[in-house]
Every structure is written in structure tokens, then in C-alpha cells.
């Protein structure tokens, strides 16, 4: 999980993407990924949204943290968060 705190943004992004591919087995990293939702680099924030949506979609704290990204300054991050919210709505119906 040390790579999620790397000083290079592309390393953090790649780590988040790799964890997303693992899905549920990567749950121990959800706290670090949640921290990346506030990363200064938008590509890292987007990767964190996508990773968390695969790793812990049912976690209420994760849902709330991703919903906060709906107001992200970067449209692609906000779009990823919106996609997650739509997915939640589909699962509840």
C-alpha cells in the first residue's frame, strides 16, 4: 500500500487502477484509496473513485465520499462519481 502514497502522481494512479482490477480482495486498501479522493492530481482522484466503486460499493462511508466528488473541479472526476451514483440507484431499484 506504500505506492498509494508515492510522490509521483502516475504511481498513485497506477496503484489505484491495479487495486480496482483486484476488486473485493483489495478491501484492506480502501482507507488509503479514500484518502486519494482528495489528491491534488485529478487523474488520481478519478482512479480512486473507480477503484472504490469496484472494491467497496456497499460501504456507506465510501458512498458518501464518492458522492462528494460530484462537485469535483475536474469534469471527468465528477462524471466517474456520477456513474457510481447511477450504479447505486440501479442496484437499489
Q: What tens-digit pLDDT sequence spans the chain (93 residues)? A: 789 999 999 999 999 999 999 999 999 999 999 999 999 999 999 999 999 999 999 999 999 999 999 999 999 999 999 999 999 886 654
* C-alpha span between 70 and 52 (Å, rounded): 15
- Give the pTM: 0.92
How many Å separate Cα 90 from the centre of its chain?
19
User: What pLDDT was estimated at residue 89?
Assistant: 82
Identify the CATH number of the domain in which residue 73 sits.
1.25.10.10
Domain range enclosing 86: 2-92
- Give how many domains the chain has, as a whole number: 1
Say which DSSP state 28 is in.
G
* C-alpha span between 32 and 74 (Å, rounded): 21
Amino acid at each position: 500500500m506504500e505506492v498509494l502514497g508515492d510522490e509521483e502522481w502516475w504511481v498513485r494512479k497506477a496503484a489505484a487502477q491495479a487495486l480496482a482490477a483486484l476488486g473485493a480482495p483489495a478491501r484492506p486498501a480502501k482507507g488509503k484509496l479514500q484518502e486519494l479522493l482528495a489528491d491534488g492530481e485529478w487523474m488520481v482522484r478519478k482512479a480512486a473513485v473507480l477503484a472504490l466503486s469496484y472494491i467497496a460499493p456497499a460501504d456507506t462511508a465510501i458512498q458518501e465520499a464518492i458522492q462528494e466528488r460530484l462537485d469535483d473541479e475536474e469534469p471527468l472526476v465528477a462524471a466517474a462519481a456520477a456513474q457510481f451514483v447511477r450504479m447505486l440507484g440501479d442496484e437499489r431499484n
